[in-house]
Structure 1
Amino acid sequence: MRTGKTTTTTNKSPMTGQAVKLLRRGWSVIPVHIPLPNGDCSCGNDCSWPGKHPRIPWRPYTENLPTEAQVIEWFDEEFFGANLGVVTGQVSDLVVVDVDGTIDDFQALGLPRTRAVLTGGGGYHFYYRNGREPTPSGISVTPGIDIKADGGFVVSPPSLHLSGFNYEWLDRRRILTKISPSDLPQRAHVSSPNGEWAGELLGGVSEGERSATTARLAGRYAQIGLTADEATMLLVTWNTQNDPPLSDRELGATIRSVYTRHTRRNEEQIRTVGDLADLFAKIHGKGDE
């Protein structure tokens, strides 16, 4: 009769085993907040992205993997029941194409097949290896399709979505396909800023600079064509790096204020152009009447 030691899993989060498995694969993993049954977020704030933002300041894990002991402590003790996040980019040798649409939308990009996740919201995450080449995150290829790479992260199976459904792997037997940045589709909009903006986005700022930097970043996002919802998604993640973070209420109010001003300016420009057209018509006439 075969005997052996019995492993006790009492009070152990089912997420721990998956987190350790991904860590041993070489992926940087982090704990993420969960959505509550009433639609709120476990962060306890007026949250714009319930169950989709990290529970920790996660900037260090864009450069180095956490230890296995740290991961176990997170998911078994400190943040028991947390969702699971995977940091993308060079640290994990991962690029993820985030499709908030259909398989047809993804296939239209002409990218090779690879391992995929069905998100709880009905979208897809397509995971690729990128040979640890520098690849910017936040590239919006087309409306509803974004690239997650350096400085980004995705929520990973079997995490819980606000919809009540779990994220799940599709075709576990398929291996991750390797692509290079040049293989990725041409960007339509860049939703993560370059230069000094990237430093602010990834590094966070101190207490006296949070509101002003939020407004600057939101203004930049508005200028390059992002919607307020898209800007909020990026800034909620960025805000976790601040010391201390703004409340979700303050963050949301600043973003709304910036986008309201941006919309008002655009409307004023449209009115001005319309007035010029009317003036031109009056000067030159509309023809003999």
Structure 2
Amino acid sequence: MTEGIIPQTQKGTSIELTPYTLLVSFAYSVIPSGGGPTGKAPLIAWEQYQHVTPEIEDLQAWEQELKPSMWGIVTGAISYVVIIDIDKPELRTMFDKSGLLPHIQTPRGGFHYWFRHPGHSVKTMAGLLPGIDVRGDGGFVNVIGKRKDGEYKVLIPPSPDAIYPWEKLPGQITHALDGQRSQAPPIEGETIPEHKRNTTLIRLAGSLRRQGLSQEAIEAALQGINNKSCKPPLEEREVASIARSAAKYPAGINNTDTSIRDYILSANLASDFTKNSQKIHKMPFGIEDIREFVRSQGFKYWEVRTLDYELGIIATEHKRYRWRLLSLLQEKEEIEQHPTDGKKYRQISPNDTIDYKSVTLTKPLDLWLPFDIHRHFNTYPGNLLDFAGVTDSGKTALAVNIIRNNDDKWDIEYWTNEVSAEELNERLQNIEPGKYIEDWNFKAKPIQPGYLQKIRPDILSIFDYIDVGDPFYRISEEQQAIHDAIGKGVAIIFLQKDEARVLARGKGFSAQLPRLYVSMGMKSAYCYKAKTPKNPSNPLKGKTCNFTLTNGIHFTFSEWRYESESDAK
């Protein structure tokens, strides 16, 4: 990779530049790579990213969890790019004659030439010509990073402006593709699946408009294809909207200069926001417009989609420009990104300073924790403490033990989606048989939609357990909401984890906020994180404790210790 073209993480700025930053800013469908026997295969199942681009949170999670050695893009219509891959330097001759330079050099001395997607289907194929492959629709190509046999070098940063028009393809390649591709619209009997209905009809509408057809003719063709081939069909009004949007574009326009597809998508999205949205072809806003919006929001977090709505940012190229301006404002330290939600920002106050001189030091809280953790770890107001356990590892038993040992000194709310009233009653009688059920002080509440708004501040809140669905990174959002709600209280959160993993199903996102993170198997607990040890020279982090659970409620356990000498380093 050419040094300085795609930067590594830079310190001293408020924005973190990662190996995939520029690729994301160019609106490509970016995925992690470096797997397989050759070390150049995607590290994830990537079929879905042929149709939708990953969120920035997905990329951050992949970088943290997978630590990919390379990054690549899904080629074709999703990224508006087709890449011609040549294996040998001597094959450059046909490109040199057309005045085309390669964008990327591969580790083995091959070259990648990037071309703007033409709007019709371009198949991904190996061996189009001897030594020449095509990465088109449904394809994938590595762009940056290293593998065992070398490094991908960026010769020309593949920004949208630097990608060659489709018409500049060398004649030999164009002729070969003409024999392979099918530009015909879907025919009767050919099924268009649900996730491809819009993009297929939009692409067809653009093709028909370039041929000079009227709105009525385009709509008639689309309605016929929709009824015969789309499974299930789109509503007639949606098809009519696509035809109407295509007809507003000049007939017979050359698709190499602008994208009819982008225009139609923009028009349809605009109708969702307001009937009076303007169809914008040039940048309708600048950095001062964004600054004015930022000032209007005060110092609270705002969502990027709100900015887009206020400024009428719809088209893909406008969104790319918006990201660049937001990055610039971050570098100037005028705004900052939300720590867990990459689509939220807020204005930075010029008076944002930490008054460390006048504060009164807070004493650790008197809070009992299982496995004698309270003897090794200091808990402070506002802390989140996480216990991630496999199924049937004793999470609920731990929660009940925490309640038992803190019930007389803490105001406690026990939130659960795991335990019925009858089971909880039985567990309480088993853990302390001589205590009347009426003498318990805590309150039990169900985890159900809207529970986050009902959390009381300044008490001990226990959550048994939080279920992490898709996308998995939302666990950090839920924990952030709990953190914001507890005030000077403490939250103990139980999470579900898979047997082979240390972290819960939210992966690294589940461990961002808690000050304590304990991972539980069936017979042992491992301290993944303990930020405030009572004795910094003998921290709990990295140590393991063996335990036995009897009668479903009582624990016996060993001392915390390192499993090996290397764990103690």
The structure richer in strand per residue is 2
**TM-score, normalization by structure 2:** 0.27
Structure number with higher relative contact order (C-alpha < 8 Å, ≥ 6 residues apart): 1
- Structure exhibiting the larger radius of gyration computed from Cα positions: 2
